[in-house]
A and B are shown apart, each in its own frame.
Chain A
C-alpha cells in the first residue's frame, strides 16, 4: 500500500509538470521531450480546403446511399437459381451468380463508404490537436476508507455472524450443496455409453454387402488392387439408426498378392489375399479410405495418419495410437464373403475405458 503511494508521488507525469516543461535538465538524457508543437492541416487554415473535404466526406456517404439502393434493386432484378442467364463471367472471380455478386458488391460498397467517409472526416475536419489527460490516484481518501471499514465491522457484529456459529456453518453448507442439483442434471444429457463403443454390428456369419450394389460379394469379385466398401448384412440405408450403425461398422475390402502381405497373422484373417479393415481412423475417428494400391497405405485426410494394410494395419506415420482393426473374414458354403465375428478390438479412437 505504501509503496503504491510512493509510486504515485514520484512517477506520475505531474511530477514533470512541476518543472514547468523545462526539458534541458542537465545530465538527464532521458528527459520527457513533451509534445511536438501542433501543426495545422491545410483544412484547418484554408476554408476552401475544408469545404472540399466536407464535400468529399458527403460524397462517400452519398455513395453508400446509392449502393444501398443498388442492393435493393439487385434483389428485385436478379433471380436466384441455376438457370442459364442467372450467372455471369467476371474476370478474376470466374462464373458467378449475378444475384450473389451484385448483393455482395453493393452491400460491401455501402458499408465501406460509411467507414471511409467517417475516417476521412476524422482525418481532415475533426480536431487533431493532441491533449494530455493526467492520471490520478484510484484509491479513495483515507477518511472514506476508514468509514467503510468501520461500517463493515459494525454490520458483521450486529448480524452475529461470528458469534452464532451454528447459523454460519449451516449457511455455508446449504450454499455449498446447491450446485449439486445442477451436477445431477448432467445425467440427463444422454444414456450411459455402456459397452457400445466396444462392439459393432458385425457378427459371426454376417455376409459382407457391397455399398455400391447392395449385394453380397464373392471373393472373386474383389480383384487385386481394387477397393470396395462394405456393410454388414441386414443393415439398410433406410434404417433409422443407419448412421449410428455404419459409423462403427464401416469397412473397406482390399485384395493384394498373398506374397505382398508382411504380417502372416493378418493374412490368416483374410481370405486368399482379401483383407477387410475398419474404415474408422484410430486417431479421432475420421472415415479413411485414401488407399494407395501400389504401397497398400491408407492415409487419413484429417491428420495424415498412415496405416500399412499389408502389415496388419500398422501405423507408419501420424498421430494414430492403434493399428487399424482388421475384421476376420472367410467364405461361407455358398462362396460369399462373411465375417467370422466382431472386431477383436474396439474400432475408432481410444477412449478411457478401452483396454
Chain B
C-alpha cells in the first residue's frame, strides 16, 4: 500500500485511474444491462407487431415513430426488408451518432429481431425484400471479376479493400462480408452507394460478383504471393511504407557505415 501511495503523484497516475474507472463502469454495465430478447413468432402480423415495438425503441428517435423520417434520419417508406436486414445485420443501424458515414459495428439485434424489424419496415411500403439463399448463391468467378471491375472496383478497389470518397465518406472493405449482405447492398444501395437493381444488374450478375468477391478476399483461395499487401490499397500505403521504413533503414545503415569506429583505449 505504501508503494501505491508513493506513486500517486506519478505523471501517468491520473491516466491509470481514469482507465480503471472507465473499464469498471463499462464492465459493470455490460454485466448488468438487460439483454434484449424477444420471442419471434412465425406469424406475419405478429412479426410486424413485434417489429413495430422494436422500431419504437431502437429506431424511432431518428426515423420517426412510423418511419416517415426526420431531419436526421431518412424516411424508411419503401426501402424494403432487404435494406433493413443489411443496415441492422451489419451493425450499421442503429447508428451511434450522425456523421459523414455510419460505420459497420457489432450487431446488437438477433436475426429474429432483425426479421421482425424488416417485416415492420416492409409493411410501410413495398421495396426489395430479403433474398433467399438460392438468390445469393455464388456464381461464376471469372465473369464476376469482369462485372466487379466495371461496376464496383472504382470505389471498392480491384481487391475489394475499399477506398476513400469525398468529405469523410468511404467505400468499406468487402473482406468478410457475407454473401447475403453483399447481395442486399447491391440491391438496395446503402448510404452513399448507388443501387444496382435486377433490371440493370441481373440476379445472375450479382451471384457472379459475389463469387468473385468471396474468391478474391479469401487468402486461402487467392493468396498474396508477394506477401505484405499493406491492405492492397495501392500506391498510398506502399509509398508511405517505402518512404518511412525502407528509406529509414537505408539512412540508418548509411549512418552506421560512416560512424566513427571505436578506438582502442589509451593505455
Contacts and interface: CB of A to CB of B under 8 A. Distances in A.
Interface stretch (B30-38, B40-48, B54-62, B163-171): B163-171
Contacts of B151: 212, 227, 229
User: By DSSP majority rule, is chain B's interface helix, strand, loop, or mixed?
Assistant: loop
B125 interface: no
Given A217-B200, A290-B155, A41 B225 contact: no
Contact of B195 (A87, A212, A225): A225
Interface stretch (B1-9, B11-19, B112-120, B257-265): B257-265
A295 interface: yes
Interface in A176-214: 210-213
Given A40-B263, A287-B154, A212 B166 contact: no
Contacts of B111: none
A176 B103 CA distance: 68
B194 interface: yes
A277 interface: no
B262 A41 contact: yes
B202 A293 contact: no
Given A212-B147, A292-B166, A293-B194, A100 B155 contact: no
Contact of A290 (B154, B189, B228, B261): B154
Interface residues of B, number: 40
B200 A291 contact: no
A46 interface: yes
A119 B261 contact: no
A122 B129 CA distance: 74
A82 B193 CA distance: 33
Contacts of B163: 301
B223 A97 contact: yes
A228 B166 CA distance: 20
Contacts of B166: 292, 295, 297, 299, 304, 306, 317
A145 interface: no
A94 B199 contact: no
Given A294-B191, A317-B166, A223 B197 contact: yes
A38 to B, nearest CB: 10
A213 B202 contact: yes
B225 A226 contact: no
B219 interface: yes
B192 A228 contact: no
Contacts of A123: 257, 261
A299 B170 CA distance: 11
B224 interface: yes
Contact of A96 (B155, B222, B224, B262): B224
Contact of B150 (A45, A84, A212, A225): A212
Interface of B: 147, 150-151, 154-155, 163, 165-166, 169, 171, 189, 191-197, 199-202, 205, 219-229, 257, 261-264, 266
26 contacts: A39-B264, A40-B263, A42-B263, A46-B264, A82-B222, A84-B220, A87-B223, A95-B223, A97-B227, A100-B225, A100-B226, A221-B199, A221-B200, A223-B199, A225-B194, A225-B195, A226-B197, A229-B151, A287-B154, A289-B154, A293-B189, A293-B194, A293-B195, A294-B191, A304-B166, A317-B166
